Chains A and B, each alone.
Chain A
């Protein structure tokens, strides 16, 4: 097991009380696999992985255990984490337009990683950076190396972000909605790139998205988050074939389909994502669930194993 997350809980202190953005979640990532993380906006996906990276905002704090390669890393100091971040694991973010430093040349933003972590000479760092820009498919990398981020398109910036994240050959790449801010045509290319790099470099990837469609052909397993909790974990194929949680099913049904012709309006799950500061006593999905019954009212369903590789958090025996 490359990454093993146990009882991770992330809280934020705000003016009007505490917000529990991630609520006691457990999951793991095997070396080389691709884990999809799905959920509506606000379900805690980003904060869960920022907690693991040690990158929470100042008002946030995380509890639990996070084992990376067997070593507990949650709560390590910034200095200790700096030996791991960008080296053992990397993270790329949703908005490539603002995630690169607008005041620095791409060359510097890349080579500084190598001189910081591997003490490479300027020449070697440049060479390695150019190799990676080639690898992620930036045409004329040499020429564009000394440019500033604003001289790149959104898709190209995300490629640069990926190249930068891979400089030290991490074992794990966390991609947080890497294509949400991009044109539809570019989205597929970037996703394909991440998948290809994952298998070519034998690197585990976590693909965070609010769109199940993104994960379909790319991930091995998927975990579905709702209101800061994991509500279902399953191999991707099984989830698509037969979702076990009403929320997963709703997500599937609201996926745009290629065979769906334009005249049918898309299904959307009725209602709103839960207010994290006023979660229901029982299941957080209850106001939006057509299957809700008495036990859902006052008991949060545990995430329980339903088969060798499937878990769900729902009081229903079986989803009709």
Chain B
């Protein structure tokens, strides 16, 4: 299994290379530059700055330099957050985003799987319609609507939670961002679980389990859940990646110092190294998460060989 994992990671290198290359040139092709100001800088100052950051060289040389640096694990300096390297920004921002994301995805799994399973077992009951209705709503409402709505209700109207801010990461400041992050995932996982559990519960091997005189609890927990959760396992790869890399919208609205915010600011300011660094970091993260999902999938489904 270890050799499989290593081989998988190895085979991702060309993909990574292409992503980096495309991102690099797309960044440079975007209009504007990192040091464009409303007021023109004197030409000699601008030339100095460009020189300092190696931006005066022809683009293919810049590219080669950049590739050499990232091979050493150095993503370069930020143009905007002076005194910070991109590595610094990722190291301070990512843990914050990841913590919120992991809370959110855990909540989503627990509530989503439970609600989806019960809805499937009580198909077409009031509970089923309720869960599916709420889930539809949860998926349909975008987070830039949900976030201010929650802030309004819990922060302003009920005033039991802070409207925004980070408060040094105190628990109560994390609640609303986590909920906003979790809601669509809860909804999606609930729908996914319900659909696949309904299918499994109608399958032949469940009928066999019943014909063996097993109790309904064993039929559901031991026989149905494992297969019923497979689609959720597959979904968790991309979902976890999306959620732990920080939602730009949520981090901006709630003022969370996560990695998502650096990414937007980086893009807006043409802070090339920051954008590139975050893109590469995301890419690696997704590759690793997909690998984990495949390994877990192999554990869930014996028919799939992870070799």
Interface residues of A (CB under 8 A from B): 53, 55, 57-58, 78-79, 81-87, 90-91, 93, 95, 98-105, 112-113, 116-117, 148, 150, 161, 164-165
Contact = CB atoms under 8 A, between A and B. Distances in A.
A113 B205 contact: no
B300 A103 contact: yes
Given A112-B218, A150-B303, A102 B227 contact: yes
Given A78-B216, A101-B209, A112 B222 contact: yes
Given A112-B222, A150-B302, A99 B216 contact: no
Given A116-B213, A164-B212, A100 B207 contact: no
Contacts of B301: 102-103
A116 B302 contact: no
Contact of A102 (B205, B207, B215): B205
B208 A113 contact: no
Contact of B204 (A84, A86, A98, A117): A98
Given A101-B208, A112-B222, A87 B302 contact: no
B303 A95 contact: no
Contacts of B7: none
Contacts of A112: 212, 214, 218, 222
Contacts of B300: 103
Contacts of B205: 98-102
B230 to A, nearest CB: 9
Contact of A82 (B123, B215, B226): B215
Nearest to B208: A99
A83 B302 contact: no
B210 interface: yes
Contact of B208 (A58, A78, A84, A100): A100
A132 to B, nearest CB: 13
Given A103-B302, A150-B303, A95 B204 contact: yes
A148 B303 contact: yes
B170 interface: no
Contact of B213 (A86, A99, A148): A86
Nearest to B215: A82
B119 to A, nearest CB: 14
A117 B208 contact: no
Contacts of B303: 102, 148, 150
B211 interface: yes
Which of A53, A83, A86, A90 has most B Cβ within 10 Å?
A86
A234 to B, nearest CB: 29
A105 B302 CA distance: 9
Given A99-B204, A99-B205, A103-B302, A83 B213 contact: yes
Q: Which 5 A-B pairs have the closest CB atoms?
A: A86-B213, A85-B213, A86-B212, A98-B204, A82-B213
B223 interface: yes
B203 interface: yes
Contacts of B213: 81-87, 113, 116-117
Contacts of A116: 212-215, 218
Contacts of A90: 211-212
Contacts of A83: 213
Contacts of B218: 112, 116
A57 B214 CA distance: 17
A224 B221 CA distance: 40
A82 B209 CA distance: 11
Contacts of B211: 53, 55, 85-86, 90-91, 93, 165
B270 to A, nearest CB: 51
A86 B202 CA distance: 19
Nearest to A53: B211
Nearest to A88: B213
A161 B208 contact: yes
Given A103-B302, A148-B303, A55 B207 contact: yes
Contacts of B210: 55, 85
Given A58-B123, A79-B215, 11 more contacts: A83-B213, A84-B213, A86-B211, A86-B212, A90-B212, A99-B205, A101-B209, A101-B223, A112-B214, A148-B303, A165-B212
